[in-house]
Copies of this chain bind each other. A is one copy, B any other.
């Protein structure tokens, strides 16, 4: 598998795998009322059971794309298909049940008086009776490890706790796809790694596909199955992390910086005259490579 660069002049991007495709964004554009371009000719898809990372610099359109995924914004051009149905036709009113969005700022998301009320909000709107909704909420809170916060006021939580609760609020609705906008930007390493585990858990335990917008490439490298590079409102290249992050030119093109691990490995290879074909992207993998044997701790194939 190699990195796919998208032809910026292609008028369409046909679905590549109809069976597994949950979301298909077909050359969608969105211009904000004041004329600034949010996304432009954006092509993007999400398959069943995968973690996709959207990586790009500030203002590249990551958040705008995410708000399209559950119909909060609709494209002014192009089309978006969720579960095989077009969202622009207007017949899709329950999109929010299928695609859950965790916003960039958790403050925006928590509005109910208590944590429990907030997490129950989605399930209640789905028509669950109160008791059932409460059970769903508790389950979600436990899954994110925030069950002890249940009776707190959202206003008095720390940044990390707010983030966990807002994820629980979406999780409680059991969507098919969960999109998270910069979930770790203001978290300390311990909270961040908790969220990181949660992401892989979501995929493995609940079979939820996860979309993550981030500009932390080290983070993306650690958890993504596929990385999409976003620039000027469109995905211009994508591939598995081990390929994308080893394409220095591509990363520079995207206005990003090569992850530290990659830099270390490449220099190391240059130094010892080794051909750099192992492509480690996580610390564990790099260490395994340094030990001169492939790392087997995770299930990802290193090409």
User: Which A residues form the contact surface with B (CB < 8 A)?
Assistant: 34, 56-59, 156, 158-160, 182, 185-191, 193, 215, 217-218, 255-257, 260-261, 263-264, 267-268, 271, 283, 286-287, 290-291
Among A56, A156, A191, the one with the most B-chain Cβ atoms within 10 Å of its Cβ is A191
Contact B267 A290 (CB under 8 A): yes
Contact A260 B261 (CB under 8 A): yes
Contact A160 B260 (CB under 8 A): no
Since A57-B190, A58-B186, A188-B256 are in contact, a sample of 18 more A-B pairs with Cβ atoms closer than 8 Å, ordered by chain A residue number, is: A57-B188, A58-B159, A58-B160, A58-B187, A185-B185, A185-B186, A187-B215, A188-B255, A189-B215, A190-B255, A190-B256, A190-B257, A193-B257, A260-B260, A261-B264, A264-B264, A264-B290, A267-B287
Contact A182 B189 (CB under 8 A): no
How far is the CB of A295 from the nearest CB of chain B, in Å? 12
User: Given the complex of chains A and B, what is the CA–CA distance between A79 and B198 in angstroms?
Assistant: 43
B contact residues around A256 at 8 Å (CB) = 188-190
Contact A191 B57 (CB under 8 A): yes
A217 interface neighbour in B158, B189, B191, B193, Cβ under 8 Å: B189
Q: List 22 A-B contacts (CB under 8 A).
A: A34-B156, A56-B188, A57-B190, A57-B191, A58-B158, A58-B159, A58-B186, A58-B188, A58-B191, A59-B159, A187-B215, A188-B255, A188-B256, A189-B257, A190-B255, A190-B256, A190-B257, A260-B260, A260-B283, A264-B264, A264-B286, A271-B287
A287 interface neighbour in B182, B264, B286, Cβ under 8 Å: B264
Contact A283 B268 (CB under 8 A): no
User: Given the complex of chains A and B, what is the CA–CA distance between A273 and B193 in angstroms?
Assistant: 30
Contact A264 B291 (CB under 8 A): no
Contact B218 A260 (CB under 8 A): yes
How far is the CB of A221 from the nearest CB of chain B, in Å? 11
B contact residues around A190 at 8 Å (CB) = 57, 255-257
Contact B186 A186 (CB under 8 A): yes
B contact residues around A257 at 8 Å (CB) = 189-190, 193
B contact residues around A159 at 8 Å (CB) = 58-59
How far is the CB of A58 from the nearest CB of chain B, in Å? 5
B contact residues around A191 at 8 Å (CB) = 57-58
How far is the CB of A187 from the nearest CB of chain B, in Å? 6
Q: Which residue of B lies closest to A252 (CB)?
A: B190
How far is the CB of A191 from the nearest CB of chain B, in Å? 6
